[in-house]
Structure 1
Amino acid sequence: MIGSKSPRLVLYVPHKPNSFDELTERPNIQTLIANNTNHWRKIATLLAKICSPDLENWRQFRDSRLLESSAISINPTLCNLESRPWHWIGGKDNQRRFSYLQHNALPLESCENVAVDRRKQLLFTPYPDYRQLDNAVIIEIRRALETGGFYSGT
């Protein structure tokens, strides 16, 4: 896992970035972005847009605090952490790896390809890519997380 040991949100992806071992030991968003393709910059950006307490300042949040409050996991099992984080599983293929999960995730009314189970703190979305998670979808995800108490206390 890359990032906080007590994250508020864990993003699960099916593949690991370059420098994974180094990033696991010393989480650094600049290293993640510099040692990988633009694809990972987009993932970090979308993670920041969702996790940032203030959407207006997501860039500053990404570059300074993202990996202090969130994490990225490549494991196909939910992290069992004391912090009781939200779990974001992005992408249909990736979601198949978690088919064992018992949940009651319901699609968002305004965004049918995004589903949330507030009780179990699960978020299911398309793969984290700008084409599938544009700003309008990000706003809807933030509303759902806010209703689930994600931004309180940040």
Structure 2
Amino acid sequence: MKTLPISAAGFGDTTAGIRVYIANRPPMAEYADLVTMQPLHSGETELINRACGNGWRKVFNVYAKLLFALDTKQFAFTQHAGSWQQYRDQYLLQAGSNTALMFSMPELQPAKGAVHIIAGRTHAKALLEAGLPAQLSWLNNEFAVDKHNRLLVCPYFDYRQLNNEKLAFLARLIGALDEAQ
């Protein structure tokens, strides 16, 4: 999966193949003025969890669970750790992890390999209103797809909104995008 480097604000790998976009960043002074990609370091997700509360723990947990729900023939995340918890703690959003959590407008690059996931319908609508050049086809009230741009919209990364059944559905949508290439 060849991807172009990310030049926007967020956490993670600058050439991530799985890019998740959320509306807010952790309310911590060290991230307030972040304008580039910043790989997290081992233990940093736990620091964010402690400083910012359970909501951020859910975001990181759901992201790691999603990676472990992906088809292992298409994605190698499970080769790095024995569980999604280990992956979250040891690899998620770090340099070389192939993952990114973005706080800015998606940089869509059709046919370049990256999968773009907007967490939350409200955030997706705000991005569209701000000029995101996407043609979303809504599959239901919570999920949308733009195959050309390899862009998906799903519920926010929270256990209640993106439960295990919906997480499995999102994993299948990602797999279908990868098969289409």
- Residue aligning to 2:61: 45
- Identical pairs, percent: 24
- Residue aligning to 1:27: 40
Distance 2:133 2:108 in 1: 15
Aligned length: 146
- Residue aligning to 1:57: 83
- Closer/same/farther in 2, CA of residues 89 and 26 from structure 1, 3 Å limit: closer
Aligned with residue 101 of structure 1, among 132, 136, 151: 132
What's the RMSD between the two structures over aligned residues? 2.8
The one-letter code sitting in structure 2 at the alignment partner of 1:49 is K
The one-letter code sitting in structure 2 at the alignment partner of 1:44 is F
Residues 51 and 70 in structure 1, CA contact (< 8 A), matched pair in contact too: no
Normalized against structure 2, the TM-score is what?
0.68
Secondary structure in structure 1 of the residue aligned to 2:178 = coil
Give a deviation string over 1:107-146, Cα, whole Å, max 9, x none.
Answer: 44xx641112232111101222111100000001101111
Aligned with residue 119 of structure 1, among 148, 153, 156: 148
Normalized against structure 1, the TM-score is what?
0.79
The one-letter code sitting in structure 2 at the alignment partner of 1:62 is R
Q: CA deviation at 1:148?
A: 1.4
Q: For structure 2, which runs of at least 5 residues remain unmatched after alignment?
A: 1-9, 69-76
Deviates more, 1:134-143 or 1:123-132: 123-132
Q: For structure 1, which runs of at least 5 residues remain unmatched after alignment?
A: none
Aligned with residue 136 of structure 1, among 165, 176, 181: 165
- Residue aligning to 2:115: 86
Larger Rg: 2
